[in-house]
Amino acid sequence: MTHRTAEDAVRACYSTWSTSYYDDYYGEGAAYPPVHRDLLRRILAPRKGGTLLDAGCGPASFLRDVTDLGFDLYGFDLTPEMVTAARQVLGERGVPAERIWQGSVLDEAAYSAPGGWPQTFDAAVCVGVLPHIPEGEEGTVFANLRGAVRPGGLAVVEARNELFSLFTLNRYSRDFFMDRLIDRGGVLSRAPGEERGALEGALDGLEAMFRTDLPPVRRGEDGQPGYDEVLSRTHNPLELAPRFARAGFADVRVMFYHFHCLPPMLGEAVPQAFRAASLALEENPEDWRGHFMASAFMLVGRRE
Ligand SMILES: C[S@@+](CC[C@H](N)C(=O)[O-])C[C@H]1O[C@@H](n2cnc3c(N)ncnc32)[C@H](O)[C@@H]1O
């Protein structure tokens, strides 16, 4: 998929979501509390104001909840419907419309407000966007974020946790085992002829251990593609954190969220217990178990 077609599909996916996105993920009726918002607030609050850029701001879903932290708020998004919604919501809170604009995180120029001021920001966050960036282009996003924040400024990038697939025992686990961990062709090519049939059988048996009917595919609305029908990648925190550091960020921390106290398929039968025990795990975003039990993580760093 080229960047353009990938971005077109992502834009179409989010075009129908601008008015419901906040309620779905941050509102009272959200399936799970917006723990990522609370984590971001905790990360940003000690900065005590300055300028804050949200790259891929959606309908100002995060920005609208940090108007009390003393930052001058700025944001841009790929999807025009999201830009319109963000301007409206923030306008009601006194933020001028020109502080929200349309642009792609892959485009360096998008990180400057249309008036050209401020030239750099005290902090920049990029949440929910990296999954939609084609493989190999993460470095462009990191470099652009680095260029957007002042020396000493803070950058936060969120990603979906690829290693969570080791805990889910579903389709993602099958893919991680078969495509990322096990080199099927390599193992088979090294097997002596008399073991090859048994090895094929063992690998097929391994694949059959996973619930590949789960999770359900998230489909779109109004004929547009859904979240699982557009590019929505996961990342390995053990790989991504060093890449973020190499892009010019110091004191890099990996902070996990959306913990699951059990593999999610077991949670349906015990939703209240599942939720309570999962929320308890959110209290320590740097718990090592987050590598496996949390579905998302943030990389937090200071521009060198
Ligand atoms: C999952 S939503 C997250 C919105 C917001 N950051 C939040 O955390 O609530 C992802 C947003 O990223 C935007 N997006 C996707 N690809 C983008 C890109 N290449 N550049 C800028 N925004 C992008 C989408 O339009 C959508 O509004």
Report pLDDT digits (tens) over 176-204: 999 999 999 999 999 999 999 999 999 99
The ligand 1 atom nearest the CA atom of 17: 27
Q: For tokens 């900065």, what's the residue?
A: 47
Nearest CA to ligand 1 atom 15: 129
Nearest CA to ligand 1 atom 1: 128
Ligand 1: centre distance to CA 195 (Å)? 49
pLDDT of residue 4: 65
The ligand 1 atom nearest the CA atom of 14: 25
- Nearest CA to 257 out of 163, 161, 166 is that of 161
Nearest CA to ligand 1 atom 27: 58
pLDDT of residue 66: 97
pLDDT of residue 102: 97
The residues, any chain, with a CB within 8 Å of residue 40's CB and separated by 6 or more, are 62, 66, 125, 127, 156, 298
Ligand 1: centre distance to CA 188 (Å)? 42
Separation between Cα atoms, residue 87 and residue 204, nearest integer Å: 52
Ligand 1: centre distance to CA 28 (Å)? 21
pLDDT of residue 3: 64
Tally the residues of the chain: 304
Q: Which of 15, 77, 127, 130 to mutate to test the pocket of ligand 1 (most atoms within 8 A of CB)?
A: 77
pLDDT of residue 219: 81
Separation between Cα atoms, residue 7 and residue 262, nearest integer Å: 34
Q: What CATH class does 3-166+217-303 carry?
A: alpha beta
Q: Is the pLDDT of residue 135 over 90?
A: yes
Q: For tokens 């930052």, what's the residue?
A: 71
Report pLDDT digits (tens) over 244-253: 999 999 999 9
Q: Is the pLDDT of residue 228 over 80?
A: no
Burial 112-133 (b: 16+ CB within 10 A, else e): bbeeeebebbbbbbbbbbbbbb
Q: Is the pLDDT of residue 2 over 80?
A: no
Mean pLDDT of the chain: 95
Query: Once rounded to an integer, what is the mean pLDDT over residues 147-166?
Result: 98
pLDDT band at 218 (very low <50, low <70, confident <90, very high): confident
Report pLDDT digits (tens) over 64-114: 999 999 999 999 999 999 999 999 999 999 999 999 999 999 999 999 999
Separation between Cα atoms, residue 263 and residue 269, nearest integer Å: 12
Pocket of ligand 1 (CB under 6 A): 7, 10, 14, 56-58, 61-62, 77-79, 82, 104-106, 127-129, 132
3-state secondary structure of 102: strand
Residue 22 host element (H or E) = helix 21-25
pLDDT band at 261 (very low <50, low <70, confident <90, very high): very high
Q: Is the pLDDT of residue 1 over 70?
A: no
Q: Is the pLDDT of residue 151 over 70?
A: yes
Ligand 1: centre distance to CA 132 (Å)? 8
Global pTM value: 0.95
pLDDT of residue 224: 83
Direct distance between the N- and C-terminal alpha carbons of the chain, in angstroms, rounded to an integer:
34
Lowest mean pLDDT among 87-91, 130-134, 213-217: 213-217
Query: Once rounded to an integer, what is the mean pLDDT over residues 2-8?
Result: 77
Nearest CA to ligand 1 atom 19: 104
Ligand 1: centre distance to CA 209 (Å)? 35
Ligand 1: centre distance to CA 272 (Å)? 30
Q: For tokens 């971001």, what's the residue?
A: 40
Query: Once rounded to an integer, what is the mean pLDDT over residues 36-56?
Result: 95
